[in-house]
């Protein structure tokens, strides 16, 4: 055994010595590790999150985001949150969790969204019958309209009365789909006009961020519409030959993505400028890959999941309260008791002070300005899951702790994940350089023959400095002869 270990150590050392250091994207600074995920702040949701984490051994924050997103979706159908001095806001959320391939994102999502998939199965079982009923009602409606039009011969008033007696045209049943993994923002709106609640949940969020919804032509429209839905605003659309006005719609968002995909959104200036990132709860938990040793099934944790599935199942099966004369939702607002309102005021003032220049939240003012709303929404979700009709001090404190943790994540990862053109250029230069027959190059050759984006001497110098700083290249002695002339600035690839 010792002999085997010694050989393995020698092989590892040799491999390490012969391999140059990896050129990582966030070269400008090392991303510090995240603060511990605040499991205690989940209150009654802690048990199902721990159950999923114990079963999958995925990062706690990944499990927490999936459970909170599913609970937000179910809660928002029946409840809003009434924030003191702010107003009523929906309990919808928008999560973006960054996790590498192999982090068991899909398994976590399947476990957290099981109640939603069961509700979809129940809708699917009724869908065919609903389609048949709709077809019959539509046929009867069309026939009645034809007969009503015949009343026109008796005068306009008689025709108007006959048409009024026919009533409204029957509405086609919504497809048995509560969540989607990808699609366009127009598709989401169409679904919301048929059923007033839906969600975009995806363990492979690249399907959404890398799809048509975030294409160059559609990205701004997608982001502004998501903002509007998060705010609880009615859907207002004008298109050639068609207008849409729909109140009381609720849609949540939860995407798990790899870091390169997250950069599509975090590096999008429009997403920051128009406020989408300020509305998102973003996290990049530390990986658990390499630590997930075999673990036997734990029946006690299965019971926690059963309780969670039953609770969300009841919420999804309960008929929602609707706006009068509409099919839009009219959720019951959850208010604050006196103690909770005092905590909210203290949290608001402390957060506001930290938005000042030089203070903690100054770099994320967009998110910081919405921290009270994030805290209130998270507290409302926790209260709704617990079956409470009011938010108490303990519940608000829990929502505030979760919001504060996500603020820390925005501070920690925002600049590290967003793409950086200078480091992209350095990577392109390295790829080109490694393909050259001579590993030695001088500055003039670099900006005259190298990648197009480095055809200016100052750009080439910046890229060279990055590669030199990360030990991919080393400076050669002044006067080294290359291309027949002594060169003042020349470098060679590190073997």
User: pLDDT tens digits, residue range 194-217?
Assistant: 899 999 999 888 888 878 888 877
Is residue 311 within 8 Å of 71, Cβ to Cβ?
no
Check residues 48 and 218 and name the one with the higher pLDDT. Answer: 48
**The pLDDT of residue 152:** 64
Is residue 267 within 8 Å of 257, Cβ to Cβ?
no
- Tell me whether residue 484 is exposed, middle or buried, using C-beta atoms within 10 angstroms of its C-beta: 0 to 12, 13 to 18, 19 or more: exposed
Check residues 185 and 253 and name the one with the higher pLDDT. Answer: 253
**The pLDDT of residue 23:** 43
Check residues 249 and 450 and name the one with the higher pLDDT. Answer: 249
- Whole-structure pTM value: 0.78
Q: How confident is the model at residue 420 (pLDDT cuts 50, 70, 90)?
A: low
H or E element that contains 469: helix 457-469
pLDDT at 238 over 60: yes
- The span from the CA of 227 to the CA of 73, in Å, is 16
Alpha carbon 313 to chain centroid, angstroms? 23
DSSP for 86-109, written as a single string: TEEEE---EEEEE--TTS-HHHHH
Contacts of 247 (CB under 8 A, 6+ apart): 234, 235, 323, 326, 328
User: pLDDT tens digits, residue range 319-335?
Assistant: 999 999 889 999 999 99
Q: How confident is the model at residue 417 (pLDDT cuts 50, 70, 90)?
A: low
pLDDT at 354 over 50: yes
Computed over every residue of the chain, the mean pLDDT equals 87
**The pLDDT of residue 211:** 81
User: Strand 440-442 vs strand 235-239: parallel, antiparallel, or unpaired?
Assistant: unpaired
**The pLDDT of residue 415:** 56
**The pLDDT of residue 253:** 94
The token pair at 315 is 């919420």
What are the CB-based long-range contacts (under 8 Å, 24+) for 421-425?
Answer: 422/462, 422/463, 422/466, 423/25, 423/27, 423/28, 423/466, 425/451, 425/453, 425/454, 425/459, 425/462, 425/463
User: pLDDT tens digits, residue range 38-75?
Assistant: 999 999 999 999 999 999 999 999 999 999 999 999 99
List the beta bridge partners of residue 336: 391
- Among 300-304, 350-354, 461-465, top mean pLDDT goes to 350-354
Length of the chain counted residue by residue: 495
- Please state, as a whole number, how many other Cβ atoms lie within 10 Å of the Cβ of residue 183: 16
**The pLDDT of residue 279:** 96
């Amino acid at each position: 055994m010792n002999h085997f270990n010694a050989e393995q150590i020698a092989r590892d050392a040799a491999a390490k010595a012969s391999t140059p250091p990896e050129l990582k994207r966030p070269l400008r600074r090392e991303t510090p590790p995240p603060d511990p995920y605040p499991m205690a702040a989940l209150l009654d949701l802690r048990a199902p999150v721990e159950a999923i984490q114990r079963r999958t051994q995925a990062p706690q924050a990944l499990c927490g985001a999936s459970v909170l997103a599913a609970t937000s979706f179910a809660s928002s159908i029946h409840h809003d949150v009434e924030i003191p001095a702010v107003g009523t806001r929906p309990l919808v959320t928008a999560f973006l969790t960054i996790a590498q391939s192999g982090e068991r994102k899909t398994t976590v999502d399947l476990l957290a969204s099981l109640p939603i998939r069961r509700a979809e199965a129940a809708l699917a079982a009724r869908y065919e019958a609903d389609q048949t009923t709709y077809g019959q009602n539509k046929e009867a409606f069309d026939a009645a309209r034809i007969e009503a039009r015949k009343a026109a011969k008796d005068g306009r008033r008689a025709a108007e009365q006959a048409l009024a007696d026919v009533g409204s045209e029957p509405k086609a049943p919504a497809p048995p789909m509560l969540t989607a993994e990808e699609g366009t923002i127009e598709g989401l709106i169409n679904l919301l006009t048929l059923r007033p609640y839906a969600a975009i949940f995806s363990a492979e969020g690249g399907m959404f961020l890398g799809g048509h919804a975030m294409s160059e032509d559609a990205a701004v429209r997608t982001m502004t519409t998501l903002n509007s839905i998060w705010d609880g605003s009615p859907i207002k659309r004008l298109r050639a030959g068609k207008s849409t006005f729909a109140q009381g719609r609720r849609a949540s968002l939860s995407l798990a993505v790899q870091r390169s995909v997250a950069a599509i959104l975090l590096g999008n200036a429009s997403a920051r400028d128009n406020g989408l990132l300020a509305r998102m709860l973003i996290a990049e938990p530390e990986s658990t890959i390499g630590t997930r040793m075999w673990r036997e099934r734990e029946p006690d944790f299965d019971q926690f999941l059963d309780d969670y599935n039953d609770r969300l199942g009841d919420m999804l099966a309960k008929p929602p309260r609707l706006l009068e004369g509409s099919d839009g939702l009219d959720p019951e607002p959850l208010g604050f008791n006196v103690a909770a309102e005092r905590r909210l005021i203290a949290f608001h003032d402390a957060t506001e002070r930290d938005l000042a220049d030089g203070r903690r939240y100054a770099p994320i003012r967009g998110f910081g300005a919405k921290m009270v709303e994030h805290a209130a929404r998270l507290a409302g979700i926790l209260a709704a899951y617990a079956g409470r009709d009011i938010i108490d001090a303990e519940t608000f404190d829990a929502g505030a702790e979760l919001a504060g943790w996500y603020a820390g994540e925005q501070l920690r990862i925002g600049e590290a994940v967003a793409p950086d053109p200078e480091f992209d250029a350095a990577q392109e230069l390295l790829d080109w350089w490694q393909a050259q027959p001579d590993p030695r190059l001088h500055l003039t050759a670099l900006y005259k023959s190298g990648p197009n984006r480095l055809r200016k001497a100052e750009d080439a110098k910046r890229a060279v400095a990055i590669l030199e700083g990360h030990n991919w290249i080393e400076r050669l002695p002044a006067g080294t002869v290359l291309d027949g002339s002594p060169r003042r600035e020349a470098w060679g690839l590190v073997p």
